[in-house]
Amino acid sequence: MPKLLLNLQSPVVDLAAQWVQDGTSTDFDLIGFAEEGLERWAEDIYKKQELLLGDFACSDGLCGLGIDLGGGRLKGETALAALARLLPTDTALVSLHLCDSHLGDGGVQRLARQLLDAAMYGGALEELKLARNALGDGASESLAKLLEVSTTLRSLDLSGNNIGCVGAGLLAAGLRQNDFLKELDLSCNSVGDDGARWLGAALEVNPYSLEKLDLSGNCLGDASLGAGSSCLEAAFFGRDSALTELRLSAEKVLSRVRDSVPRRGEPFAVRCHQGGAEIRSLAVRAGEQRGLQDAVPAERQGEDGPFVLYPMIEDPSTPAEVASFEQPACSSHLTSFEQDEEELDIVFAIASLRKYGGPALVVQISPRRLRLDVGGDRLLDAATFGEVDPSASSWAARDGLLEICLRKAARGERWTRLTCE
C-alpha cells in the first residue's frame, strides 16, 4: 500500500502523525464520509498520494475531518496536555474520539478548559466521544460549562461512565442554555430517577435543539418511566419538542421521524438565538414508536391539526423563546429560504394577503429586528443577531406570497448559516 502525504491543515492530526513517527503511538484513525463509492474515493487518493482537507468535506458541509485516538492510543497526561493545547487553534477538526482513554475527571476537565477557549475563538469541533473514561461529577461540571457557550458541538457521547444524578443535574443546567447540541448519549451510567427528572425539566425549559437522548442502562424506575406524569415523557411529547428519539431502556424507546425541511403549507419554527437562527418544520410526517400505543396523545393534538408557532423575542441580549399561538386568525407557512454570503431570502405563504391587500401588510426591517403584521395581526417579531442593512433590504408581496430579502450591514459581517435542523 503506497504511503500518503497528510496535508490536512489540522494541528491535532500533525501531532498524532508526529507521535507515530517518533514511536509514542502506534497508529491513529482519520474519520470521514465518502460521498461517492469508497473504492473510487480511495483510488483517487492513492493516485495523487496526498490526503487533503477537501477530501473529507461533503458538498452539503455536514461532515468533515475527524480523528480517533481512543483505545489507549493517547499516552499519558503529557500527551493529553499537548493535544488539548492545540484544540483552540484547530479549525479543521470537527470530530474527536477519545473513548477508552483512561481520562478520568481530571483529564476531561483539562480538555474542557481548552474546548472552552476553542468555543470562544472559532473552534470547529462538532462531535466529542468520551465513552468509558471513568467520568463522574467533576467531568460533568466542566462539560456543562462547555455546553453553555459552545455553538459548534452537535454530538456528545458520555456512555459507559460513572455519571450520577448530580452530574446529570449539572449537564441539565448546561442544556438549558444550549441551542446547538443535537445528540446526547448518557447510556450505561448511574443517572437514576432524580437525574432523569433534572434532564426532563431542562428539556421542558429548552425543547428546541436536542433530537436524540439515550438514557438506557441507567436503572430508571417507574418514577421516570411512568405514563403521562414523567418529565422525560412530557418533554418528548411537548408541542415544541425537537426530540425524535428518547431511549429510556433497551425495551423502552420513544421515537418518531420528523422531516426537518419545511414544505408548503406546514407549520414551522424559526429558532432565534445569539448565534443566529435555524428554521425547521414542526410537522411529523411519518414515524414509528416503540413502548407506547400512540405516538402523540390525542389531548396534545389540536382540533384542526398541528399548531403554528411563531418566534417572539423581547430581549435581544438573551436567547430567544418561541411563543405559540393556538389557531391564530392569520396563519403563515414557510415555503422556501435561500442564503448566500451577502443576503438571506425568506418566502412566506400568507393566505390572508389576498384578502387584506397592500395597505394592511406592514414589514419593518431594522438593523437588529424584523417585524411582520398582516391585517392587524402580528405574525413575526424577531431580533436578528447579525446586523442587517435596512436600506439595502427589501420585500415584495403578490398572490399570497411574501418574499423578504435581508442584506448584511457590512461585507464580512458574520451570520450563522441557517440549517434545516
201 and 228 together in one domain: yes
**Closest to 208 in 3D by CA, of 327, 324, 94, 340:** 324
Would you tell me how many other CB atoms lie within 10 Å of the CB of residue 327? Answer: 11
> Region 8-15: what's the mean pLDDT?
91
241 and 361 co-located in one domain: no
Confidence band for 315, pLDDT divided at 50, 70 and 90? very low
CATH of the domain at 273: 2.60.40.790
Question: Looking at residues 265-270, what average pLDDT do you find?
Answer: 58
Which secondary structure element, helix H or strand E, spans residue 254, and what is its range? strand 253-255
CA dihedral 88→89→90→91, nearest 10 degrees, is: 100
Place of cell 475563538: 121
Question: Is there a domain that residue 37 lies in?
Answer: yes
Asked if 224 and 148 sit in the same domain, the reply is yes
pLDDT band at 191 (very low <50, low <70, confident <90, very high): very high
What is the tally of structural domains in the chain?
2
Q: Sorting pLDDT into bands at 50, 70 and 90, what band is 320?
A: very low
* Structure-model confidence comparison of residues 98 and 310, the more confident one: 98
- pLDDT tens string 360-399: 677 888 887 788 877 667 777 776 656 788 888 888 776 6
User: Domain for residue 335, yes or no?
Assistant: yes
296 within some domain:
no
Nearest to 138 by CA among 160, 170, 116: 170
211 and 80 in a single domain? The answer is yes
Co-location of 242 and 317 in the same domain: no
Contacts of 353 (CB under 8 A, 6+ apart): 361, 374, 397, 400, 401, 402
Asked if residue 28 is part of any domain, the answer here is yes
Say if residue 42 is in the same domain as residue 85: yes
Which residues lie across from 221 on neighbouring strands?
Answer: none
Tell me what pLDDT residue 370 has: 80
Within a domain: 402? yes
Report if residue 47 sits inside a domain: yes
Q: Are residues 248 and 321 in the same domain?
A: no
Whether 240 and 147 map to the same domain: the answer is: yes
Is the same domain home to 249 and 275?
no
Across 24-38, 134-148, 227-241, 245-259, the highest mean pLDDT is recorded for 134-148
Q: What is the CATH number of the domain that holds 142?
A: 3.80.10.10
248/121 same-domain check? yes
Q: What is the mean pLDDT of residues 18-32?
A: 86
Instruction: Give domain status of residue 78, yes or no.
Output: yes
- The predicted pLDDT at position 271 comes to 56
Q: How many helices (H) and strands (E) does the chain have?
A: 10, 22
Residue 168: pLDDT over 90: yes
Identify whether residues 118 and 210 lie together within a single domain: yes
- Round to whole Å and give the CA distance between 167 and 135: 9
Find the domain containing 344 and state its range. 268-285+307-407
Kindly state whether residue 134 falls inside one of the protein's structural domains.
yes
Q: Please give the span between the terminal C-alpha atoms of the chain, in angstroms, as a whole number.
A: 40
Q: What is the mean pLDDT of residues 184-203?
A: 92
Instruction: Show the cell assigned to 339.
Output: 442564503
DSSP H helical ranges for 244-320? none
Over range 203-212, report the average pLDDT.
89
**Bigger pLDDT: 115 vs 56:** 115
Whether residues 227 and 281 share a domain: the answer is: no
Q: Higher pLDDT residue, 100 or 403?
A: 100
Which of the listed ranges 304-308, 323-327, 374-378, 401-405 does the model predict with the highest average pLDDT? 401-405
pLDDT digits (tens, 9 = 90+) for 59-69: 444 467 899 99
